[in-house]
């Protein structure tokens, strides 16, 4: 059988191919019959199978592509698309440059789209800009799909100005274009810009093709989650309700996550409870929401009393991790161990072991924590050793701290947190010579401490503070309020927690001043100075809240009768009437 029937049969075989040995057999047949050379349609179908299917092989696809004596634009598009979707998307730039250096074939809008996707995945801003310029030069700038991909690339490459300019200049756009800017900005470092674009979208009289859809809501809600602004989350939720978009389970799940990350746990659970057909993602999101807010017992009840007996869904690795995290933050050691040892159908990963090590370490059961690390069925990663080092720091176990630090050094790990934790262990024991040795090693390895920063929203605007910050335009007012705060919390019995401070060669008064100028205290002082009495305050911190800031926040909530929520890198703390939701266990 030859000609069109044979090609149709081979196309069907390519569609049904399910293993890599079959791929190689097909390739051999195409080469032997000369069809790989004579039939561009079959060649493209084969290259697509080899480069994009889960059982394919990019190296084999690239070798097959290079063996072709005559290639078309579709051949180039297929192989560039495969590489752009693979583990090393930036490699497609080399192939694209080679395509430009030969003639024919000529790149088309799809070629540029696939290469722009590679720029987005590899955060290659200059490449995205060059592709845009080339699209203009080749007369391809009217292609909506290409421009939408470039929008996504600009957003993911942290080029919001270029993205907004391109968006405004698009001659024709659809909801996919709006969503590509929105999604890239929401998940990147510009969530505020994403929300501004969402407000612009819903306030405009847009044609049907540009009307917001479920993807729009998910992107906008994700921006709210990044910013931690419950008021904006309410606005996104209300818009979704008005349009009937909150019926989509994906929207409802992301709203649960968003409300939880904005500190509005009750609203998150309201959305979860009112969801008629909960998926596994729904349950996992609710469990993690409870965990991050320190409600470990509630998470355990939701899991054991509701999800397991009546939900009809099977727990996965994320489910167990969420429950374990809840036990960690609430100090439920025995419950956490019981859950860990009861895992069925899920093989524990390093994250599960890490949660149990953290659970034992926080409770001071360091020997058990180390024994668990030693008994793991795989080598512990850096995160596990860092967890053990943190536990040793909390409980002043110098021997364990040194062991964990040595294990991290053997792995080539050199993060500032490891040096600081080990220094703090020595400082608590007043071993200043060892503190100096660690400090010298830190400088010798050129390790820089990650600066602590916090931000809070006042009047719809985010205000960001570094430790000891004086760059804010109202910094004098902030520090005046900070002095007032210091006086009021001292009157309530607060003594600055300077013990263990690695700055052993600094006077005690200077230590206290440095502690009082932590970024979260500056954010709280600014909010106290600029918002009406009784207004709730929310602060987001990039690092773990320190012991002294935690103690001050409790007293501020009592002295000023404010509810203060602090979201640090691990969890939420809700301060009210001099108490914290974490029960001083974090």
Q: What is the pLDDT of residue 59?
A: 93
CATH annotation of 71-196 = 1.25.40.10
Q: What is the pLDDT of residue 358?
A: 95
Closest CA to 80 of 27, 117, 53, 30: 117
Contact 36, 43 (CB under 8 A): yes
Could you tell me which residues come within 8 angstroms of residue 8 by beta carbon, excluding any fewer than 6 positions away? none
Count of other CB atoms within 10 angstroms of residue 534? 9
Regarding beta strands 564-567 and 537-541, do their DSSP bridges make them parallel or antiparallel, or are they unpaired? Answer: parallel
- The residues spanned by each domain of the chain are 1-60, 71-196, 358-450, 469-580
Could you write out the DSSP letters of every residue in 98-111? HHHHSSSPPP-HHH
Contact 198, 216 (CB under 8 A): yes
Helices 73-84 & 58-67, crossing angle to 10 degrees? 160
What average pLDDT is seen over the chain? 89
Contact 341, 309 (CB under 8 A): no
Q: What is the pLDDT of residue 76?
A: 96
Q: What is the pLDDT of residue 510?
A: 54
Closest CA to 125 of 82, 77, 184, 182: 184
DSSP 8-state secondary structure symbol assigned to residue 344: -
Q: Strand (E) positions, 107-234?
A: none
Identify any residues that bridge with 373 across adjacent strands, giving them in sequence order.
none
Q: What is the pTM of this model?
A: 0.80
Contact 475, 542 (CB under 8 A): no
Residue ranges for the chain with pLDDT beneath 50: 1, 500-508
User: pLDDT digits over 374-394, tens only?
Assistant: 999 999 988 898 899 889 988
Q: What is the pLDDT of residue 407?
A: 86
Q: Is 183 helix (H, G, I), strand (E, B) or coil?
A: helix
Q: Strand (E) positions, 459-554?
A: 461-466, 537-541
């Amino acid at each position: 059988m030859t000609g069109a029937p044979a090609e149709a049969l081979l196309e069907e075989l390519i569609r049904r191919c399910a293993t890599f040995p079959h791929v190689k057999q097909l390739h051999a047949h195409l080469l032997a019959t000369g069809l790989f050379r004579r039939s561009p349609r079959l060649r493209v179908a084969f290259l697509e199978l080899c480069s994009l299917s889960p059982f394919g092989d990019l190296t084999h696809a690239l070798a097959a592509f290079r063996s072709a004596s005559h290639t078309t634009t579709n051949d180039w598009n297929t192989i560039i698309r495969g590489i752009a979707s693979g583990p090393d998307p930036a490699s497609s730039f080399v192939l694209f440059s080679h395509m430009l250096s030969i003639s024919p074939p000529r790149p088309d809008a799809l070629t540029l789209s696939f290469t722009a996707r590679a720029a987005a995945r590899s955060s290659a801003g200059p490449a995205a800009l060059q592709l845009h310029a080339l699209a203009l030069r080749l007369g391809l700038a009217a292609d909506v799909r290409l421009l939408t991909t470039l929008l996504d690339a600009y957003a993911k490459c942290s080029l919001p100005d270029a993205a907004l300019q391109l968006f405004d200049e698009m001659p024709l756009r659809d909801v996919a274009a709006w969503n590509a800017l929105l999604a890239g900005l929401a998940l990147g470092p510009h969530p505020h810009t994403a929300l501004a674009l969402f407000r612009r979208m819903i306030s405009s009289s847009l044609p049907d093709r540009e009307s917001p859809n479920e993807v729009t809501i998910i992107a906008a809600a994700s921006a709210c989650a990044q910013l931690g602004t419950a008021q904006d989350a309410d606005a996104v939720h209300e818009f979704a309700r008005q349009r009937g978009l909150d019926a989509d389970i994906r929207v409802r799940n992301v709203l649960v996550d968003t409300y939880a990350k904005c500190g509005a746990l009750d609203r998150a659970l309201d959305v979860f409870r009112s969801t008629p057909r909960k998926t596994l993602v729904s349950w996992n999101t609710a469990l993690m929401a409870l965990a991050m807010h320190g409600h470990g017992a509630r998470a355990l009840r939701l899991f054991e009393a509701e999800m397991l007996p009546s939900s009809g869904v099977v727990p996965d690795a994320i489910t167990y991790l969420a429950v374990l995290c809840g036990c960690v933050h609430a100090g439920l050691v025995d419950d956490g161990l019981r859950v860990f040892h009861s895992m069925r159908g899920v093989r524990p990963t390093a994250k599960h072991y890490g949660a149990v090590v953290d659970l034992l370490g926080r409770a001071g059961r360091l020997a058990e924590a180390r024994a668990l690390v030693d008994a793991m069925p795989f080598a512990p990663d850096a995160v596990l050793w860092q967890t053990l080092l943190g536990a040793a720091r909390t409980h002043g176990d110098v021997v364990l701290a040194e062991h964990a630090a040595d294990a991290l050094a053997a792995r080539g790990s050199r993060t500032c947190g490891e040096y600081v934790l080990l220094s703090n262990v020595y400082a608590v024991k007043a071993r200043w010579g060892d503190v100096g040795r660690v400090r010298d090693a830190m400088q010798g390895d050129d390790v820089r401490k990650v600066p602590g920063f916090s931000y809070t929203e006042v009047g719809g605007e985010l205000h960001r503070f570094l430790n000891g910050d004086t760059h804010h335009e109202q910094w004098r007012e902030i520090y005046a309020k900070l002095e007032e705060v210091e006086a009021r919390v001292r009157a309530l019995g607060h003594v600055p927690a300077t013990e263990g401070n690695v700055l052993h060669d600094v006077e005690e008064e200077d230590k206290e001043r440095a502690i009082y100028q932590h970024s979260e205290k500056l954010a709280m002082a600014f909010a106290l100075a600029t918002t009406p009495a009784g207004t709730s305050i929310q602060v987001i911190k990039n690092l773990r809240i320190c012991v002294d800031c935690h103690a001050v926040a409790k007293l501020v909530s009592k002295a000023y009768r404010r509810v203060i929520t602090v979201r640090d890198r691990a969890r939420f703390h809700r301060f009210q009437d001099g108490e914290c939701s974490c029960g001083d266990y974090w």
